[in-house]
Amino acid sequence: MSESPGENPDLAVLTGLDEDAGVGTITLNRPARRNALNHEMLIALDKAVADLSENESVRAIVLTGSGASFCSGVDTDELAGGSSDGPHSPGPGGPEALRRGFQLSHRIILTLFDMEKPVIAAISGPAVGAGLDIACTCDIRIASPDARFSAAYIRVGLFPGYGGVWFYPRMFGMAKAAEMMLTGDFMNAEEALASGFLNRIVPADQLLAEATELATRLAAGPPIATRLAKTMMHRSLGTDLTSALQLSAAAESITLSSADHAEGMAAAREKRAPNYRGV
């Protein structure tokens, strides 16, 4: 795996790229602060997500955290009474400046959620507040047994400003979402698995390998069909069945006429692995 030029462990976000496998990796890298999101990390994460989203050699992405945490949410040093300035620090600009301060984080959320490439979260330890919301943007979530999840905003008098009010009811159902938002209580890995939020739980020492293996498998799949499947699944969340069927017919017309479909059928008949090229 190659790393970006000049990359070092002091960076708030690390990126990696295995060009042969078509897999990109994004690592939140502030382990001493449980990978809390400060302004520097948000800027770096925004760039990492955009770069891998636009890189044509990347077909799947793994998002993880370094150390014993996935992400503990927004850095409390940049909230009220903290010692550092950031986009969520109260200041002379008042509520309007704070509202505009969400543009960066919201761009990250939307890019992760809307990108046509599958994103796999590899989660160990806590995913709290904005960290939980980032996990929600991913398509597949694999966790270690010590993973824990909390919409912790309410504990410090805050509202889920990173998209939780949209994500939680869709991920957990209305009743559980209300409990999570109104109490800030933790959900453990087993409960998250039972709820359907997690796809699987694996031993901590196998977490990244498991996520990378799955990403490699997805990256080897047909890019056109993968992109359309993810896009149409997301679009179907806000439409009726008739509209979803019409969109599906249009999408399937694209895949039926693709060279990848012809290659997939040929490989199946010849009992060999397909070589998809995204055309």
SS3 letters for 99-157?
HHCHHHHHHHHHHHHHCCCCEEEEECCEEECHHHHHHHHCCEEEECCCCEEECHHHHHC
With respect to residue 278, please indicate whether it lies within any of the assigned structural domains: no
Q: Name the domain count of the chain.
A: 2
Same domain, 104 and 227: no
Determine the average pLDDT of the residues in 1-22: 69
Same domain, 111 and 244: no
**Position with higher pLDDT, 265 vs 87:** 265
pLDDT at 2 over 70: no
pLDDT score of 118: 97
Same domain, 266 and 174: no
- Give the domain extent around 231: 223-270
Same domain, 139 and 244: no
Same domain, 7 and 80: yes
With respect to residue 231, please indicate whether it lies within any of the assigned structural domains: yes
Same domain, 242 and 207: no
Secondary structure letter of residue 9 according to DSSP: T
State the chain's mean pLDDT as an integer. 93
Determine the average pLDDT of the residues in 174-186: 97
With respect to residue 209, please indicate whether it lies within any of the assigned structural domains: yes
Same domain, 179 and 264: no
With respect to residue 275, please indicate whether it lies within any of the assigned structural domains: no
What's the CATH code of the domain at 187? 3.90.226.10
pLDDT score of 143: 98
pLDDT in tens, 217-260: 999 999 999 999 999 999 898 899 999 999 999 999 999 999 99
With respect to residue 276, please indicate whether it lies within any of the assigned structural domains: no
Same domain, 227 and 156: no
Is residue 58 within 8 Å of residue 23, measured between CB atoms? yes
**Position with higher pLDDT, 87 vs 14:** 14
Other beta carbons less than 10 A from residue 19's beta carbon: 12
**Is residue 3 within a helix (H) or strand (E), and if so which, with residue range?**
strand 2-3
